[in-house]
Amino acid sequence: MTNSQLTPGVVPGRLPADVIASNFADVEPPLDQHEALVAADRCYFCHDAPCMTACPTTIDIPLFIRQIATGTPEAAARTILGQNILGGMCARVCPTEQLCEEACVREAAEGKPVEIGRLQRYATDRMMARGVHPFTRAAPTGKRVAVVGAGPAGLSCAHRLAMKGHDVTLYDARPKPGGLNEYGIAAYKSTGNFAQEEVAWLLAIGGIVVKNGMALGRDIDLDMLREEHDAVFLGVGLAGVNALRVEGEEKEEVTNAVDYIATLRQADDKSVLPVGRDVVVIGGGMTAVDVAVQSKLLGAENVTIVYRRGQERMSASRYEQEHALSTGVRIICNAAPLRVIGNGAVREVEFAYTHDSGGGLSIGNETFRLKADQLFKAIGQTLEGGAEGLAIEGSKIAVTGAGRTTLAGVWAGGDCAQGGNDLTVTAVAEGRDAAEDIHATLMA
């Protein structure tokens, strides 16, 4: 008899600790030298490089792959990091199957692209393993810049500003820097302590002071930052979580998926994390997929993602959807939650089938219920306080050009800013480009 048969409800240890540890091993182990050379040899080194155009950070992909092929992976790393200082993490979490690899000529011709993401990881990992920082600071400018949010956008912005010679203070609300890289991605995509290792490596540029536990709107505010600094960059992400707005949402074991993922990411021993037998996830993005897959890896018997629109409208990539299905996760589309049922804690969730006519979503009369002892909400995040005085477009900070807000001397980028596609690699590009614009403004 299995442990899960003996322990109903939301409990830890549904699987033995060694099995859970194995489940959360690196989903794509790194290439060794021989594998990297073989993979690099498949590149055509296209002169018009559609893969490069598809990369939000415009890394010169043919160049870095040629550098790997010629036995100079450190030079390849410098090519990558010059455009994307978080190239190591992006190599692990970037949806390459939708970006550079989808644009690869080999993908079009053979259905098998060059393994750009794994080659990028090979190069950047070797550089970091050597403890080498490939860039040096320019002479001090005497300018001071506040960067709020130590996620991908903030880290990218802070590094580029420090490299230009500015003094940067990096504020973050969490106990550790890293943002979503530390707290928000699936544990099997970035194993060990890589997020913190990358941050420490990035900070080796010098000129950046990190202040954790400092939240915008609580410990610091825009007026203070503008008074004490020559410029401000906001990369605060989206810390709020949307509500389901259905009856019974307040019941026990109804949890924000982002909070659960953060807890899982910080757990040294994942076997102590409680997980349900019947898990339901509401949402259709990467957060929904990440929490669903990880619930399955922790030993949940039945895991179901329910999305209100058709599967083609899910923001999680097809690759990620297929990965979820391969782990045993079920995906139900065209269904919206009506109520959460249970006496104290969730026991069932009632859904209605939906119809998407193009003019809007309508709720049908036909309903069904799913058994659930754990329900995760993954229906999007919102901007929290601290942005007073800034124009808001939709639910994000309005920006023009390279992240300029409606307040003089204040820039914004990453998930908190209007535009973009909520990807780590896009946040890195926006932080980098804002830093260049801040530098040009300060030195004018």
For residue range 194-225, what is the model confidence (pLDDT) as tens digits? Answer: 999 999 999 999 999 999 999 999 999 999 99
Structurally, how many domains does the chain consist of? 3
Say yes or no: 224 and 256 in one domain: no
Say yes or no: 216 and 248 in one domain: no
Examine the fold and report which residue of 361, 377, 393 is the final residue of a domain before the chain moves on: 377
Give residue 135's pLDDT: 96
Give residue 430's pLDDT: 98
Give the least confident one: 7-21, 31-45, 242-256, 430-444: 7-21
**Torsion-angle region of residue 389: left (phi > 0), alpha (psi -120 to 50) or beta?**
left
Residue 291 lies in a domain: yes
At 9, is the pLDDT very low, low, confident or very high (cuts 50, 70, 90)?
confident
Say yes or no: 305 and 323 in one domain: yes
Quote the radius of gyration of the chain (alpha carbons, Å). 23
Q: What is the CATH number of the domain that holds 373?
A: 3.50.50.60
Distance of CA 36 to the CA centre of its chain: 26
Mean pLDDT of the chain: 94
Say yes or no: 289 and 325 in one domain: yes
* CA gap 312, 427 in Å, rounded: 24
Give residue 360's pLDDT: 83
Q: Could you say which DSSP state residue 415 is in?
A: G
Say yes or no: 368 and 261 in one domain: yes
Give residue 120's pLDDT: 98
| pLDDT > 80? residue 290 | yes
Say yes or no: 364 and 340 in one domain: yes
Residue 8 lies in a domain: no
Nearest to 430 by CA among 84, 89, 98, 64: 84
| pLDDT > 60? residue 1 | no
Instruction: Label residue 8 exposed, middle or buried (CB < 10 Å: 0-12, 13-18, 19+).
Output: exposed
Domain membership of residue 192 as a residue range? 144-239+383-442
Q: Which residues contact 89 (CB under 8 A, 6 or more apart)?
A: 152, 181, 190, 194, 195, 198, 424
* CA gap 86, 425 in Å, rounded: 8
Q: Are 281 and 288 in contact (CB under 8 A)?
A: yes
| Number of other residues whose CB lies within 10 A of the CB of residue 218 | 12
Residue 432 lies in a domain: yes
Q: Which residues contact 149 (CB under 8 A, 6 or more apart)?
A: 171, 172, 179, 216, 234, 235, 236, 237, 414, 416
Residue 15 lies in a domain: no
More confident position, 114 or 385: 114
Q: What is the mean pLDDT of residues 406-430?
A: 94
pTM: 0.94
Q: What is the CATH number of the domain that holds 76?
A: 1.10.1060.10
Give residue 83's pLDDT: 98
Say yes or no: 313 and 283 in one domain: yes
Examine the fold and report which residue of 66, 96, 129 is the final residue of a domain before the chain moves on: 129
Say yes or no: 88 and 175 in one domain: no
Q: What is the largest CA-CA distance in the chain?
A: 72
| Number of other residues whose CB lies within 10 A of the CB of residue 388 | 10
Nearest to 442 by CA among 138, 61, 76: 138
The C-alpha torsion from 121 through 185 and 135 to 66, rounded to 10°, is 20
Say yes or no: 248 and 371 in one domain: yes
Q: Are 316 and 186 in contact (CB under 8 A)?
A: no
Query: In the beta sheet, which residues pair with residue 330?
Result: 304
Give residue 387's pLDDT: 85
Residue 138 lies in a domain: no
Examine the fold and report which residue of 347, 377, 407 is the final residue of a domain before the chain moves on: 377
| pLDDT > 60? residue 5 | no
For residue range 58-85, what is the model confidence (pLDDT) as tens digits? Answer: 999 999 999 999 999 999 999 999 999 9
Q: What is the mean pLDDT of residues 163-180?
A: 97
Say yes or no: 372 and 248 in one domain: yes
| pLDDT > 50? residue 444 | yes
For residue range 139-158, what is the model confidence (pLDDT) as tens digits? Answer: 999 999 999 999 999 999 99
Nearest to 167 by CA among 230, 81, 234: 230
Residue 104 lies in a domain: yes
At 7, is the pLDDT very low, low, confident or very high (cuts 50, 70, 90)?
very low
Say yes or no: 428 and 351 in one domain: no
Residue 26 lies in a domain: no
* CA gap 124, 118 in Å, rounded: 10
**Cα separation values, 75 from 112, 156, 163, 363, Å:** 26, 20, 19, 56
Give residue 8's pLDDT: 59
What strands, in cross-sheet order, belong to the sheet with 231-234? 208-212, 167-172, 144-148, 231-234, 410-412
Give residue 240's pLDDT: 87
Residue 11 lies in a domain: no
| pLDDT > 80? residue 91 | yes
Say yes or no: 67 and 111 in one domain: yes
